[in-house]
């Protein structure tokens, strides 16, 4: 394991400067003890006032060797002081400039976003959500107040915004008025509740998905606060594990279709537009199965009505959402026609 690589660059610079100062201090102290016969503390005192060019005059080198040593010490000390101040100034200016340009770049990226999602919290769940959104080409911005997490967000190439997700100004900066939805997955139920309340107040039409710990009454409170959907990862995980024991083959198949696994299949939802060629036609006459080799698993009709395993004579209407199963390239081809 490379310990050096785990030390931040700025901290490494400080360690180098401090170490070099100690070397000069002890070399000067023992040098004066050797050439001027001073005691340890007198030698250290003389070294410090020499390095920092104070020169009170109460102690001066009197031996030729001590004077030559002082000249060398002054050269080394002044060079060290100038180098230290230059590095400190460089670090401060570099940090401020970098922070300025990062904020400017972020503001430009956020300003360009439309119909995007706001992911509040970049913990374990937030990371997975962001990864999937990125893979599917969906625009989003991540809000978190942890500096280390923000660095990770930046390294992954996501649009990030530092701050409290329950703060009005932070959400407005994230473009909540132009956003399509918000996902509240911060650390606690209380925080998710505050985020939901703030977001709903700023955008009454916003789709809000909130994470729940599964504790009693939390889901009800989040729904009252304005959440469109409340998800409990612990409950979902428990159900998934239990069903893997009860009906493992079914769950394996669902996992394969949802994650485009070994079968090369994926499940997708497609909106039937008014310009689609098969609007108002029967499912059998659309050619979805014969032309694209795609199975229509369900049809979601306006009003949240879900038609599972639709019959061949089911008429497709504009605004219907088709839940389809097939190869990704076939689904892409179908998507172009609807």
Q: At how many degrees (to 10) do helices 124-135 and 147-156 cross?
A: 20
- Listed in sequence order, the residues at least 6 apart from 169 whose beta carbon sits closer than 8 Å to its beta carbon are 163
pLDDT score of 102: 62
Predicted model pTM:
0.60
pLDDT score of 264: 63
DSSP annotation string for 283-334:
HHHHTHHHHH--EEEEEEETTTEEEES--TTPBP-TT-EEEEEEEHHHHHHH
Which segments within 40-112 are labelled E, that is strand? none
| Number of helices and strands in the chain (H, E) | 13, 10
Q: Identify whether the C-beta of residue 234 lies closer than 8 Å to the C-beta of residue 295.
A: no
* Mean pLDDT in consecutive groups of 10 residues from the start of the chain, 338 residues: 50 75 84 83 82 71 80 80 74 59 70 90 93 90 90 88 90 92 94 95 95 90 94 88 87 68 72 87 88 90 82 90 88 85
Q: Which domains can be identified in the chain, with CATH numbers?
A: 4-104 (1.10.287.70), 113-234 (3.40.50.720), 247-337 (3.30.70.1450)
Q: Identify whether the C-beta of residue 70 lies closer than 8 Å to the C-beta of residue 63.
A: no
Residue 256 burial (10 A CB sphere; 0-12, 13-18, 19+): middle
DSSP annotation string for 130-142:
HHHHHHTT--EEE
pLDDT score of 186: 93
pLDDT score of 1: 43
Q: Identify whether the C-beta of residue 226 lies closer than 8 Å to the C-beta of residue 199.
A: yes
Name the phi and psi angles at 293, rounded to 5.
55, 45
pLDDT score of 56: 67
């Amino acid at each position: 394991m490379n310990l050096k690589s785990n030390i931040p660059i700025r901290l490494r610079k400080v360690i180098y400067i401090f170490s070099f100062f100690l070397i000069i201090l002890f070399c000067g102290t023992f040098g004066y003890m050797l050439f001027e016969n001073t005691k340890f503390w007198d030698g250290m005192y003389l070294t410090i006032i020499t390095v920092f060019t104070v020169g009170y005059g109460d102690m001066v080198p009197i031996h030729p060797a001590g004077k030559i040593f002082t000249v060398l010490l002054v050269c080394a000390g002044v060079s060290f002081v100038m180098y230290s101040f230059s590095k400190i100034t460089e670090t401060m200016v570099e940090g401020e400039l970098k922070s300025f340009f990062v904020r400017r770049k972020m503001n430009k990226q956020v300003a360009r976003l439309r119909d995007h999602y706001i992911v509040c919290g970049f913990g374990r769940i937030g990371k997975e959500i962001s990864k999937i959104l990125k893979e599917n080409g969906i625009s989003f911005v991540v809000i978190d107040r942890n500096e280390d997490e923000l660095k990770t967000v930046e390294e992954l190439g996501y649009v990030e915004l530092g701050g409290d997700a329950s703060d009005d100004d932070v959400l407005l900066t994230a473009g909540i008025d132009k956003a399509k939805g918000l996902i509240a997955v911060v650390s606690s139920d209380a925080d998710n509740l505050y985020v939901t309340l703030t977001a709903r107040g700023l955008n009454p039409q916003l789709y809000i998905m909130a994470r729940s710990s599964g504790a009693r009454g939390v889901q009800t409170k989040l729904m009252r606060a304005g959440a469109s959907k409340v998800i409990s990862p612990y409950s979902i995980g428990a159900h998934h594990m239990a069903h893997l024991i009860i009906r493992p083959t079914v769950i394996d198949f669902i996992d394969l279709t949802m994650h485009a696994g070994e079968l090369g299949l994926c499940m997708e939802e497609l909106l039937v537009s008014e310009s689609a060629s098969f609007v108002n036609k029967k499912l059998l006459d659309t050619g979805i199965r014969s032309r694209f080799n795609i199975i229509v698993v369900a049809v979601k009709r306006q009003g949240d009505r879900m038609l599972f395993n639709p019959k061949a004579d089911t008429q497709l209407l504009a605004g219907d959402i088709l839940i389809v199963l097939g190869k990704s390239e076939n689904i892409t081809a179908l998507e172009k026609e609807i």
